[in-house]
Structure 1
Amino acid sequence: MAGGPGADLHGMTQPPHDPAPGERPSGERPQEEPWRAPGEPEAQPPPYPGAYGGQGPYGGVPEHGAPPDRGGDRRPPGAADLASRWARLGAGIVDSVLISLVMLPIWWTVVDWSRVADPAPNAPVADRDRLLANLAAIAIAFVYYWLMHLRFGQTLGKMLLRIRVVRADDGGAIDAGQAAGRSAFYTVLGGVCGCIGLLDIAWILWDERKQALHDKAARTVVVKAGPGTPNPYARR
């Protein structure tokens, strides 16, 4: 018989009917979409990392917690961006004159010029006075170059000649260690040994990126800083 026990058992052993694509079993509620106000666009997936114009790979947060660049796009300075050798020489002369003017009252106070001009035989006083004057000059020059480069990327001479110190790898502002390293190289080493100071400055004459030895030690370059050029120190 069609309705016998065998038919029932046969029907119970049949696999359940799979709904066709788009067909929903009875009793199942459709998945509700998130509510949004009339006219509100659909939610979009989050943008890829760095889509907000940041310099780092994490959506605008640079690596190692460094602050974002403050003077436009960071990029390695090219040959057209580098300051001329004459501009660097002019800035160095201006800074040397300024430091000498600051040192004049110290020299007059510390050094007994009568003993320097006409020292007594075997008198170490004149040598001691000259040493103190040299140490004072080195200390003042170091602090001047360090703080000015750290804060502005420029000394007064560089401001006058419109040039600026930046990182060689990406054109960003230098940090305290770089500012101290380059300043120590040409004030301390240059003050202790004049030949080192001369070689340091002369290196820009043949270097491809017009770097002095103190630039190479601190990984910096000197670039043009005219109107319209990016200034990574603008918000320090």
Structure 2
Amino acid sequence: MTQQAGWYDDPQNPDNLRYWDGVQWTDHTSPKQKPNLEQAGRAIAAEDGWGTAPGAQQGQGQQGYGQQGYGQQGGYGGQGYGYGQQPGGAQPPYQGQWQPMPGAGQQLAAGRPTTPDGQPLAGWWHRVGARLIDGLLIAIVGSIVANVVVPGVWGDYVDWFMEAADPATAGAATNLDPPADLLARISTWSLVVAAVGMVYEIVMVTLAGGTLGKLALGLRVRLREQAGKIGWGSSILRALVYQVCGLFTPVAVLNVLWPLWDAKRQALHDKVARTNVVRVR
């Protein structure tokens, strides 16, 4: 069963906490803050009925903080704070580990914006870089697919333009508006490229947690209130709003710039889908 996102014992360093994003371990760590041992000992003594008996201090030293009570059993009673055993590799944390502590994410982020459960949000430049990588990939793949669907459209456009711009053939009243059939083919070509881009984003974000550009830069898309991969519905809504914003240049520019001043670092399509772009490394 997948463990919920949060701060858990670092499998590589028992003195640290490491953030589990619901899918895998991230590179974000924070020093572990152990409870005050003296206060914890008194609490255990009171709970077990030791009270102020003469042997209380000796029992507390042997059972409360000994190797069996504190190290191997993973904390007080084997399920409290869990400073003992660690999961290996990339396995998810188990229930007996240290559970998310309020403020741990804010301490790690040191003022950087985070999701409500403490995962750092992606910076604006990282998001732009990921979009540039994705835009190049979509332009290449989309053009190949569109040229199969609408073959020769740009060759016909160049031929028409050269003929229309030539005074010897067009005359004095040169008309630079393409004929209706050529405009229809160009529109179809553009729609195919847009459809390729939308399908690419929906599939990659849903199945892999991010597009190839985001994966390359250590970014992931998640719901703001819930870690892990988003579902098909949220992914489709997010991609659809992004495409609609792109139809109007002022709105497209506003959508790209919006995370710069937004407290949650959400673009407009993130706000509609209730998502965040986060950093995992």
1:83 aligned to 122, 132, 144, which one?
122
SS in 1 for 2:115: coil
Q: 1:142, 1:54 → 2: CA distance?
A: 31
1:133 pairs with 2:189: yes
Q: 2:145, 2:203 → 1: CA distance?
A: 21
Cross-structure match for 2:141:
102
Unaligned runs of 5+ in 2: 5-21, 25-92, 94-98, 106-113, 165-174
Cross-structure match for 2:131:
92
SS in 2 for 1:221: strand
Report the residue type matching 1:219 in the other structure. Answer: R
1:147 pairs with 2:203: yes
Instruction: Map residues 37-116 of structure 1 onto 2, 5 A cutoff.
Output: 70-71=23-24, 77=115, 81-109=120-148, 110=150, 111-116=152-157
Please identify which structure carries the higher strand content: 2
Aligned length: 160
Cross-structure match for 2:252:
197
Q: 2:121, 2:145 → 1: CA distance?
A: 36
Q: 2:156, 2:250 → 1: CA distance?
A: 27
Q: Which has the higher contact order (CA 8 A, sep 6+)?
A: 1
Instruction: Map residues 215-234 of structure 1 onto 2, 5 A cutoff.
Output: 215-226=270-281
Contact 1:77–1:171 under 8 Å retained in 2: no
Q: 1:209, 1:190 → 2: CA distance?
A: 19
Range that drifts further, 210-219 or 76-85: 76-85
Instruction: Map residues 201-212 of structure 1 onto 2, 5 A cutoff.
Output: 201-212=256-267
SS in 1 for 2:230: coil
Q: Provide, for residues 48-104 of structure 1, a one-character-per-residue CA deviation record: whole Å limited to 9, x for no partner.
A: xxxxx976xxxxxxxxxxxxx555678972576111111111000000000011023
SS in 1 for 2:194: helix
Moved segments of 4+, more than 3 Å: 69-76, 106-109, 119-122
Change over 3 Å in CA distance of 1:136–1:54 after alignment to 2 = closer
Q: Provide, for residues 2-45 of structure 1, a one-character-per-residue CA deviation record: whole Å limited to 9, x for no partner.
A: xxxxxxxxxxxxxxxxxxxxxxxxxxxxxxxxxxxxxxxxxxxx
Q: 1:210, 1:164 → 2: CA distance?
A: 14
TM-score, reference length from structure 1: 0.60
| Alignment RMSD (CA, Å) | 2.7
Contact 1:138–1:191 under 8 Å retained in 2: no
Question: Which has the greater radius of gyration?
Answer: 1
Q: 1:174, 1:207 → 2: CA distance?
A: 21
Change over 3 Å in CA distance of 1:218–1:105 after alignment to 2 = same
Cross-structure match for 2:242:
186
Q: CA deviation at 1:219?
A: 0.3
Unaligned runs of 5+ in 1: 1-52, 56-68, 227-236
TM-score, reference length from structure 2: 0.51
